[in-house]
Amino acid sequence: MWRSGWRTSGVLRRLSGRSASLGAWRWASTTACERALLRYRVGEKIHGFTVSQVTSVPELTLTAVKLSHDGTGAQHLHLAREDRNNLFSVQFRTAPADSSGAPHVLEHTVLCGSQRYPCRDPFFKMLNRSLSTFMNAFTASDYTLYPFSTQNPKDFQNLLSVYLDAAFFPCLRELDFCQEGWRLEHEDPSDPQTPLVFKGVVFNEMKGAFTDNERIFSQHVQSRLLPDHTYSVVSGGDPLCIPDLTWEQLRQFHATHYHPSNARFFTYGNFPLEQHLKQIHEEALSKFQRIKPRTAVPAQKPWDKPREFQVTCAPDSLAAGSSEQTTISVSFLLPDITDTFEAFTLNLLSSLLISGPNSPFYKALIESGLGTDFSPDVGYNGCTRDAYFSVGLQGIAEKDIQTVRDLVDRTLDDIIEKGFEDDRIEALLHKIEIQMKHQSVSFGLALTSYIASCWNHDGDPVELLKLGSQVARFRKCLEENPKFLQEKVKQYFKNNQHKLTLSMKPDDKYSEKQMQLETEKLKQKVNSLSPEDKQQIYEKGLELQAQQSQPQDASCLPALKVSDIEPRIPFTEVEVALAAGDTPVQYCTQPTNGVIYFRAFSSLNTLPEELRPYVPLFCNVLTKLGCGGLDYRELAQQVDLKTGGLAAAPHVLPDDSHLDTYEQGVLFSSFCLDRNLPDMMHLWSEIFNNPCFEEEEHFRVLVKMTAQELSNGVPDAGHLYASIRAGRMLAPAGDLQETFGGMDQVRLMKSVAEMTDIKPILRKLPRIKKHLLNCDNFRCSVNATPQQMSQVENSVDSFLRTLSRSKKERKPVPPHVVEVRLCPLPARRARKPSESKPCSLAFDPVLPCSHLSLAVKSPDWRATWAGDAAASELEASRRCTLTLIKPAPKGPGRHSLVTRKLVMDPTFKPCPMKTHFLFPFPVNYVAECIRTAPYAAPAHASLKILARLMTAKFLHTEIREKGGAYGGGARLSYGGIFTLYSYRDPHSTETLQSFLKAIDWAKSGRFTQQDINEAKLSVFAAVDAPVAPSDKGLDCFLYGLSDEVKQAHREQLFAIRHEDLVDVSNRYLGAGRSTHGVAVLGPDNASIAKDPSWVIR
Residues labelled as active-site residues: 107, 180
Q: Is 594 left (phi over 0), alpha (psi -120 to 50) or beta?
A: left
Burial class (CB in 10 A: 0-12, 13-18, 19+), 953: buried
Element at 751 (helix H, strand E): helix 743-753
Q: Are 297 and 385 in contact (CB under 8 A)?
A: yes
At position 274, the amino acid (one-letter code) is E
Element at 1019 (helix H, strand E): helix 1009-1023
Cα separation of 1080 and 1097, whole Å? 10
Q: Are 438 and 512 in contact (CB under 8 A)?
A: no
Cα separation of 88 and 84, whole Å? 13
Q: Are 866 and 937 in contact (CB under 8 A)?
A: no
How far is CA 171 from its chain centroid?
32
Cα separation of 328 and 505, whole Å? 9
Q: Are 377 and 388 in contact (CB under 8 A)?
A: no
Which residues, in sequence order, are CB contacts of 1059 under 8 Å at separation 6+? Answer: none
Cα separation of 747 and 318, whole Å? 7
Q: Are 603 and 777 in contact (CB under 8 A)?
A: yes
- The angle subtended at Cα 1027 by Cα 1022 and Cα 1033, nearest 5°, is 115
Burial class (CB in 10 A: 0-12, 13-18, 19+), 979: buried
Q: Of 491, 484, 472, 194, which is closest to residue 334 (Cα–Cα)?
A: 491
* CB count in 10 Å sphere of residue 614: 20
At position 704, the amino acid (one-letter code) is K
Cα separation of 1067 and 1045, whole Å? 24
Cα separation of 155 and 132, whole Å? 7
Q: Are 205 and 984 in contact (CB under 8 A)?
A: yes
Q: Are 78 and 276 in contact (CB under 8 A)?
A: yes
* 663 strand-pairing partners: 653
What stretches of 15-157 adopt beta strand conformation (E)? 45-46, 49-57, 62-69, 75-80, 86-93, 134-135, 138-139, 143-150
Distances (CA, A) of 885 to 357, 570, 584, 872: 50, 19, 17, 28
Burial class (CB in 10 A: 0-12, 13-18, 19+), 840: exposed
Cα separation of 712 and 746, whole Å? 10
Q: Are 285 and 69 in contact (CB under 8 A)?
A: yes
Kind of pairing, strands 841-843 and 863-865? antiparallel
Element at 349 (helix H, strand E): helix 340-354
Kind of pairing, strands 263-269 and 75-80? parallel
Angle of the 743-753 helix axis to the 732-741 helix axis, nearest 10: 40
The single-letter DSSP state of residue 857 is S
| Alpha helices (runs of H) in 110-172, residue ranges in sequence order | 122-126, 153-168
- The angle subtended at Cα 264 by Cα 61 and Cα 337, nearest 5°, is 75
Q: Of 958, 1026, 1018, 948, which is closest to residue 990 (Cα–Cα)?
A: 958
